[in-house]
Structure 1
Amino acid sequence: SAEQLPLSDAVVMTTSGQNTAAKTGQAQFAVNFGVANMGVSINKTNGAAFNQQLAMTNNRTERQIIQYLIDNDKVLVIDDFHYVAREMQMYIARTLKTELFNGLKAVIISLPHRSDEAIICNPDLIGRTTSIEILPWTAAELKAIAVKGFKLLGMPIGEAEENLLAQESITSPQLMQENCFQLAFAAMQKKQPISLELVHFAFKQTARDYAHYERLVKAIVQGPVQGIGRRKLYALAQGSVDIYHLLLLAFKADPPVTELSMVTLKERIKGLLLSKELLSSTIISATINKIIKIVEATMPDLDALEYKAQCLYILDPFLLFYLRWK
């Protein structure tokens, strides 16, 4: 961070008193304060008791910081660029245009579907940037965790169980590791060989660790309080639900994926409904946007859902897993 760079600070020391007959003087001098010279200014009132105050302020301008990075061949890394306010994104993009020309090296990390935001903020960056996409973990890569881990534990596991673990871990190696842990623990505790039934049990044990999502799920199912008694109900095999509950069921339907286009959402909804009724894109989009507002109000710090260009992005695989296995 900027605070850790070896750049100079400015120190200001002041003294004050109440003697009306006193004379006031000022002196300035430099002090070596470890890593850099400090400019010190003293205001002194003679003939009076006074209180001393010492204030240190950073003298680190944006230009100094960037020049330090350039001179020392450092790379500026801006993580989670998608969280930055739009106005600040525009400012960063304008600054980068100039400083890249001066020799600055910068890396901007953002979500895949928002990787073009820096260029959108400043089209002049076209030709000055290179996009590197880091793909999510594949099912084969996740499966390798189970293959290697259970072999080291001396626990035989079938390919069907390995595939199910990889599928339900939804591109997340952390979730895969936790599911494997719960499965191994259950197998030792129950003294049973690994089976599909035991894998299902392990998933439910993992879901218990994410019970903090329960409040959020209930808020989504309830939907906005306004108009709750006038909502249309849709008939499903398991009963009638309103539009909010219906979409939540569509989100978690098979197969578990973190990107749902409007076409896919409509197909999933059609598969849930007993009737041949089709929901319009307008109704689906409006409801998704309201669900996102519910998420933001219920758990403000949770970056869970995003809807862009008629595609729903489930940013939190742990939430999707909880929806499927709670």
Structure 2
Amino acid sequence: MRKHPDADAFVREHLRHPAHATTRLAFADWLDETGTPSNAAWAHYIRLREEADRHAPDSEEQQRLLRQADRFATKVSAKLTLAARVFARDPELILQLIPAANVTFRLETFEPPRSILGLVPESVAIEKNLLPLALHGNTLFLVTDRANHDAANVLGCILNKEVILVSTDRLGLSSIASAFGHTEETFDSVFREYSYLPLLPNDPPTLNEEADPRSAAVRFVNMLFREAIERRADRIHISPEPTGMHVTYVADVWVQYGWVPPRFQFPALARIALMARIPVEWTHPHPTTLIPIMGEFQLQVAGIQFCVRVTMTPSPDGPTTQIDLNRESLPST
């Protein structure tokens, strides 16, 4: 939404006094006066939602008006950034003003109600990077930072609900794990929710977590590479800190992946070092006076060949690691 003092004032007034339909309708009039097609569609959306609220819930007339509002919603270009807890507290408060697809939700301090978390299997939430946000009537809102339309359709069929995906700027594995009640002590159990797939030719076909404590790190690193490739990232950046590792993918923009507890730092970095034929000693904390070290290895995923270059730069908390994923053409047969 173009920054405008009148528009900002209308939005703030609506959030302060959501029950005042007069404020929303006055905002719709102002949108019409701007003369832009997108704002005109937004005005129609607000008026249709307001008219729908005057009819009995789930009545045929209400549903007809809501369907009309949804058709105008696709033409609204305005964007709003909002704390997730505000939407979860009263979804209708926001839906009366703007389509959910036009809102980016901030997740700080947000804790989904346990009743809503129970609707989505934890393994699905982790694999598809989804977090339940709110249940409004028969509509379940899931927050995500990627395209997950297939998962939304499947969940909708299983739950017999309408499932709508809404956006957030970042949703890391740690946020999902925390919402489902995991802490650092049980973080390795979160990794086990992922289907293990070997990544390198010498990877074992299965993992025995009980017999080999390093297997959680193997699962995590394999997952890290596969998800980066799935997101079409060309770089992975790992930054160790005293509180754990922060991992980001780099594609067209920086995409936050999440936080990994400190006790997984050395096993994960050690596996990456061994893959790139870098001495494991470089994964320990070192003075920053040491020069970076580089290594390479070949990787094939989903029929695509990659030349992977790993650069480890020493730091007091462990090496800052940059992983470049360079796609190569496979030779024709």
- Whichever of the two has the greater Rg, that structure is 1
Structure having the larger proportion of residues in helix: 1
Say which structure is richer in strand: 2
Bigger relative contact order, structure 1 or 2, given CA contacts below 8 A and separation 6+?
A: 1
TM range (shorter): under 0.3
